[in-house]
């Protein structure tokens, strides 16, 4: 009996010491394998143009100038005549209006030297983010500009007023039990990744409306971005779409630039985007945790921005418009091929993404 008492006492003391020491609370950080956090490359993009036959024509091309959140860009034009530099919807464009006759072959577009670094917000807890009410009070213009419907004459692409989108966003908001804009945007992102599958549809020539993506439960980068923006706007979080290129390294060492779309949401945090944070909706991982760590509030060095939405219907329409032409004679034929080419790609820096047990994030 005495031995049992001593054994129980020693066990209790050991348990008490371990509990008070806090050892069970010390968890190792999550560390992902090293990825390129700083890169440099040359990119050329635009259209190969070939005109055949005899007669006159006019070609119009509104070409976006590239941007990165962190880094430097210098650019030049592939066609140095018949253009104007324009600012539309807070974006800079080269506007070509090319008139010609008969047969020609030429390229129109931009060539640029890019040095880019990855960008992330470190705190995933929303400590310095605003509530939705605070955004509406402090930034009424941003709130009004980026929480409304965006459509053309026939299609409601971004639709925070769709009943099913409202219902879904409200359900997520109630489950999240927070009005913190970053945490609620994160909950909506988690719902998107759990319920909507990334799936390209190359045979469709247009972007799907957000309501169709919600109904079909699948979509490509444009579709997922438009749905996520609609969900955010439905609960009062300002959101906008970004168009650009995503660079991918191939097995043979070459690098491909693919036309891409992603999202910015406004949560009021400090940083290079003045309160906005980037969100990549088209990732293919099945892990919600990995998606949040690697794609929410983080933009890789491989993202190249071309166009930032300003929330208007005209902005949306312009983003969906490519090159156009008019021929003055039925015998003239114009052939257009889009291109985006990467050369002289170099990884300047690679680091590991680290997530601490307190949900802070940094590169190491």
**Per-residue pLDDT reduced to its tens digit, 30-47:** 999 999 999 999 999 999
Q: How confident is the model at residue 203 (pLDDT cuts 50, 70, 90)?
A: confident
- Is the confidence at residue 171, as pLDDT, over 50? yes
pLDDT, residue 345, reads 98
State the average pLDDT for the chain. Answer: 92
Tell me the CA distances in angstroms from 24 to 20, 149, 239, 360, one per residue in order.
9, 49, 40, 19
- Is the confidence at residue 19, as pLDDT, over 70? no
pLDDT, residue 2, reads 42
- Is the confidence at residue 14, as pLDDT, over 50? no
pLDDT, residue 131, reads 98
- Is the confidence at residue 352, as pLDDT, over 90? yes
Q: What is the mean pLDDT of residues 123-137?
A: 97
Beta bridge partners of 70: 117
pLDDT above 70 coverage of the chain, percent:
93
Q: Are strands 218-219 and 104-117 parallel, antiparallel or unpaired?
A: unpaired
Q: What is the mean pLDDT of residues 281-288?
A: 90
Q: How many CB atoms lie within 10 A of CB 106?
A: 15
Integer Cα distance of 61 and 93 in angstroms: 10
**In this predicted model, what pLDDT tens digit does every residue of 64-76 receive, in sequence order?**
999 999 999 999 9
pLDDT, residue 303, reads 98
Minimum mean pLDDT among 7-11, 135-139, 196-200, 313-317: which range? 7-11
DSSP of 205-263: -SPPPHHHHHHHTEE-HHHHHHHHHHHHHHTT--EEEEEEEEEEE-TTS-EEEEEEEEE
pLDDT, residue 26, reads 57
Q: What is the mean pLDDT of residues 85-114?
A: 95
pLDDT, residue 258, reads 97
pLDDT, residue 27, reads 65
* 8 Å CB contact between 232 and 188: yes
pLDDT, residue 317, reads 94
Q: What is the mean pLDDT of residues 3-29?
A: 45
This model's pTM is above 0.95: no
pLDDT, residue 284, reads 80
């Amino acid at each position: 009996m005495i031995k049992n008492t001593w054994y129980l006492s020693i066990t209790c003391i050991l348990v008490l010491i371990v509990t008070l020491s806090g050892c069970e609370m010390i968890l190792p950080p999550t560390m992902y394998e090293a990825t390129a956090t700083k890169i440099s490359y040359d990119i050329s993009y635009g259209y190969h143009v070939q005109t055949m036959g005899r007669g006159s024509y006019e070609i119009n091309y509104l070409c976006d100038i590239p941007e990165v959140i962190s880094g430097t860009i210098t650019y030049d034009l592939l066609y140095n005549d018949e253009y104007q530099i324009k600012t539309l919807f807070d974006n800079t464009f080269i506007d070509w209006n090319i008139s010609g006759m008969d047969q020609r072959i030429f390229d129109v577009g931009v060539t640029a030297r890019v040095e880019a670094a990855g960008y992330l917000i470190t705190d995933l807890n929303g400590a310095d983010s605003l509530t939705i009410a605070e955004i509406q009070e402090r930034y009424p213009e941003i709130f009004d500009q980026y929480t409304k419907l965006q459509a053309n004459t026939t299609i409601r692409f971004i639709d925070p007023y769709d009943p099913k989108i409202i219902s879904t966003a409200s359900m997520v908001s109630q489950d999240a039990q927070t009005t913190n804009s970053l945490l609620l945007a994160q909950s909506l992102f988690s719902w998107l990744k759990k319920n909507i599958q990334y799936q390209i549809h190359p045979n469709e020539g247009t972007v799907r409306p957000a309501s169709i993506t919600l109904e079909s439960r699948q979509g490509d980068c444009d579709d997922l971005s438009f749905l996520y923006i609609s969900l955010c706007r439905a609960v009062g979080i300002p959101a906008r779409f970004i168009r650009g290129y995503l660079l991918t390294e191939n097995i043979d060492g070459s690098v491909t630039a693919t036309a891409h779309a992603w999202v910015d949401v406004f949560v009021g945090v400090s940083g290079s985007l003045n309160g906005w944070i980037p969100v990549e909706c088209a990732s293919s991982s099945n892990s919600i945790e990995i998606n949040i760590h690697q794609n929410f509030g983080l933009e890789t060095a491989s993202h190249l921005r071309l166009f930032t939405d300003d929330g208007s219907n005209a902005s949306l329409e312009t983003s969906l418009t490519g090159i156009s032409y008019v021929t003055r004679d039925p015998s003239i034929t114009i052939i257009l091929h889009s291109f985006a080419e990467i050369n002289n790609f170099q990884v300047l820096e690679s680091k590991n993404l680290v997530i601490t047990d307190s949900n802070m994030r940094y590169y190491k």
